[in-house]
Amino acid sequence: GVGAAPRGRAPRGAAALTRGPQVLVYDLLFGKGLRCGGRWKALARRHRARLQAELARLKVRHKVSRDEDLLAPAQAASPGGSQVPRYIRVNTLKTCVDDVIDFFKRQGYSYLGKAASVEELRALSGKKFLLDLHLPELLVFPPQTDFHDNLLYTSGHIILQDKASCLPAFLLAPAAGSHVIDACAAPGNKTSHLAAILKNKGQIFAFDVDTKRLATMNTMLMRAGVTGFQLAQQDFLTVDPGDPRYSKVTYILLDPSCSGSGMVTRGLREEPAPSAQRLQALAGFQRKVLSHALSFPALRRLVYSTCSLHQEENEDVVRAVLQEHGSAFRLVTAFPSWPCRGLATFPGAESCLRASPADTLTHGFFVAVLERGGEEAAAPSSLPAAAEENPQHGETAEPRAAPRKRKRKKQRVKE
Ligand X SMILES: C[S@@+](CC[C@H](N)C(=O)[O-])C[C@H]1O[C@@H](n2cnc3c(N)ncnc32)[C@H](O)[C@@H]1O
Binding residues for ligand X, rule CB under 6 A, total 20
Binding residues: 184-190, 208, 235, 255
> Beta-carbon neighbour count of residue 342 at 10 Å?
24
Which range binds ligand X by CB under 6 A, 64-72, 185-193, 270-278, 308-316? 185-193
Q: Is 296 in the site for ligand X (CB under 6 A)?
A: no
**CA 326 → CA 289, 319, 369, 407, distances in Å?**
17, 11, 16, 12
How is residue 380 annotated by DSSP?
G
Is residue 187 near ligand X by the rule CB under 6 A?
Answer: yes
Q: In the chain, what are the helix, strand and coil shares in percent, each to the nearest 5? A: 40, 15, 45
- Contact (Cβ atoms closer than 8 angstroms) between residue 256 and residue 179: no
Binding site listing for S-adenosyl-L-methionine = 184-190, 208, 235, 255
Element (H, E) at 158: strand 158-160
256 scored as a contact of ligand X (CB under 6 A): yes
CA angle 309, 171, 327 (to 5 degrees): 80
Beta bridge partners of 254: 304
190 touches ligand X (CB under 6 A): yes
Nearer to ligand X, 170 or 236 (CB): 236
Binding of ligand X at residue 314 (CB under 6 A)?
no
Position 235 contacts ligand X (CB under 6 A): yes
Nearer to ligand X, 55 or 186 (CB): 186
Q: How far is the CB of 350 from ligand X (least distance, A)?
A: 24
**Closest C-alpha to 32, from 52, 3, 56:** 3
Residue type, 407: K
Q: Please state, in angstroms and rounded to a whole number, the distance separating the CA atoms of residues 45 and 5.
A: 19
| Selected binder of ligand X within 92, 145, 257, 265 (CB under 6 A) | 257
What whole-number distance in Å separates Cα of residue 217 and Cα of residue 214? 5
Terminal-to-terminal C-alpha distance of the chain: 13
Task: List the one residue out of 66, 37, 303, 51 whose CA is nearest residue 167.
Answer: 303
CB of 186 to ligand X, least distance (A): 4
CA dist 314 to 290, 323, 411, Å? 11, 14, 21
Is 189 a binding residue for ligand X by CB under 6 A? The answer is yes
Q: Which is nearer to ligand X, 313 or 371 (CB)?
A: 313
Within 108-180, where are the H helices?
118-122, 151-154, 163-172
Considering only 171, 185, 290, 321, the residue that binds ligand X (CB under 6 A) is: 185
Q: Per-residue contact track with ligand X, 193 to 232, x per CB under 6 A? A: --------------xxxx--x-------------------
CA nearest to 124, candidates 110, 136, 137: 110
Nearer to ligand X, 140 or 183 (CB): 183
Question: Which residue has its beta carbon closest to ligand X?
Answer: 184
Task: Write down the least CB distance from residue 308 to ligand X, Å.
Answer: 10
With a CB cutoff of 8 Å and minimum separation 6, the contacts of 345 are 311, 315, 316, 319
Residue 1 binds to ligand X (criterion: CB under 6 A): yes
Nearer to ligand X, 129 or 207 (CB): 207
Q: Which residues are catalytically annotated?
A: 307
The reply on whether position 85 binds ligand X by CB under 6 A is no
Q: Does 134 bind ligand X (CB under 6 A)?
A: no
Q: Residues 146-165 vs ligand X: string with x where CB under 6 A?
A: --------------------
Query: At closest approach, how far in Å is the CB of 235 from ligand X?
Result: 4
Say whether residue 415 binds ligand X (CB under 6 A): yes
From 33-41, 151-159, 251-259, 394-402, span contacting ligand X (CB under 6 A): 251-259
Q: d(Cα 381, Cα 102) in Å, to the nearest integer?
A: 38
> Binding to ligand X by residue 237, rule CB under 6 A?
yes
Residue 184 lies near ligand X (rule: CB under 6 A): yes
Interface residue with ligand X, options 132, 137, 255, 315 (CB under 6 A): 255
58's enclosing H/E stretch is helix 48-61
**How far, in Å, CA of 64 to CA of 303, rounded?**
38
Binding piece for ligand X, criterion CB under 6 A, among 8-16, 29-37, 254-262, 332-340: 254-262
Nearer to ligand X, 210 or 316 (CB): 210
Interface residue list for ligand X (CB under 6 A): 1, 184-190, 207-210, 213, 235-237, 255-257, 415
